[in-house]
Amino acid sequence: MPTAKITSTTGPIELYYEETGQGFPLIWCHEYGGDFRSWEPQVRYFSRRYRVVTWNYRGYPPSEVPKEPGAYSVESLVDDLRGLMRHLNIPRAHVGGLSMGGGVALNFGIRHPELAASLIIAGAGSGTVDRETFLKSSERNAALYEREGVVAKQRNFAETPSRKGFAEKDPRGWQEFLRNVLDHSGVGSALMMRGVQMKRKTIFELEPELKTLTVPSLIVVGDQDEPCLEPGLFMKRHIPHAGLVVMPMTGHTANIEEPALFNQVVGEFLTSIESGRWGTWKASR
């Protein structure tokens, strides 16, 4: 089982990862409800041309699950990704993520722009709009996961409106997603909710950093992912070299709900970057 023992600002941590294929590195960061397995359609597709790396955050077995609340923050996840890249001798990579992982990719690009060849920011920004409702719901869910474990987490996702389309389109894939949630940690999920989801800056609050982010970026959002539509457009307007793709009749988990379309738009984006022809980014080089 491939693990990397790295040192971050919170101390040593052991992280599970997988890498497939050869070529320029492409690293995927998973959502709150997913894990490294959530990127399987992208691993199978992009590993034909790239060295694809997927990993589980701290708090997601088989990665280590710290019990201290202070071990969980956006900054610690960014540090973990940097440490993982060092462990794998990756000096620079395309970095992508979905939802919470999109936030990790975005904040990694802000903090370490020299390490990111490009950013793929998908379904990011939940909690930016209607903040108070988000915070109350998040604390309620965190307490539930602490008390009842991952069964409660699975039940919560089964009832989430922005995931209904996935369940209807691909019942087999949806059941696989729900089964995978049961491998998570109730404690890790609660601490991640409180330390990352509830305490991270909203996309609106990141405006000054977005304006200085020169890394070429692709923003992807499903048109049925209501909490992420406004944040997606906001990022498009404020990141200098960002393109926006809105996927039709698609919810929150765009990469597994519509994997073929997701892979197509990401593949075109990466090709544009590698040929130096990504819109305004070309003009700025």
Mean pLDDT of 71-97: 97
Q: How far apart are CA 168 and CA 36, in angstroms?
A: 23
Q: Nearest 5°: phi and psi at 163?
A: -110, 0
**Which range of residues forms the domain containing residue 85?**
3-126+203-284
pLDDT interval class at 71 (50, 70, 90) = very high
Domain membership flag for residue 165: no
* pTM higher than the cut 0.85: yes
Tens of pLDDT, residues 170-202: 999 999 999 999 999 999 999 999 999 999 999
Which distant-in-sequence residues (6+ apart) come within 8 Å of 163 by Cβ?
A: 157, 174, 251, 252, 253
Helix boundaries (H) for the chain: 40-46, 74-87, 100-111, 131-148, 150-158, 164-169, 171-181, 186-192, 207-211, 226-238, 254-257, 259-274, 279-284
CATH number for the domain harbouring residue 227: 3.40.50.1820
Tens of pLDDT, residues 229-253: 999 999 999 999 999 999 999 999 9
pLDDT interval class at 282 (50, 70, 90) = confident
Domain membership flag for residue 235: yes
pLDDT at 256 over 90: yes
The number of helix segments (H) and strand segments (E) in the chain equals 13, 8
Q: How far apart are CA 244 and CA 232, in angstroms?
A: 7
Q: How far apart are CA 104 and CA 14, in angstroms?
A: 18
Domain membership flag for residue 146: no
Mean pLDDT of 30-45: 98
Domain membership flag for residue 248: yes
Report the number of distinct structural domains present in the chain: 1
Domain membership flag for residue 182: no
Query: So what's the pLDDT on residue 284?
Result: 57
**Cβ 18 vs Cβ 55: under 8 Å:** yes
Query: So what's the pLDDT on residue 3?
Result: 95
Domain membership flag for residue 74: yes
- Single-letter amino acid code for the residue at 92: R
Domain membership flag for residue 171: no
pLDDT interval class at 1 (50, 70, 90) = confident
Domain membership flag for residue 192: no
Tens of pLDDT, residues 139-171: 999 999 999 999 999 999 998 899 999 999 999
pLDDT at 7 over 80: yes
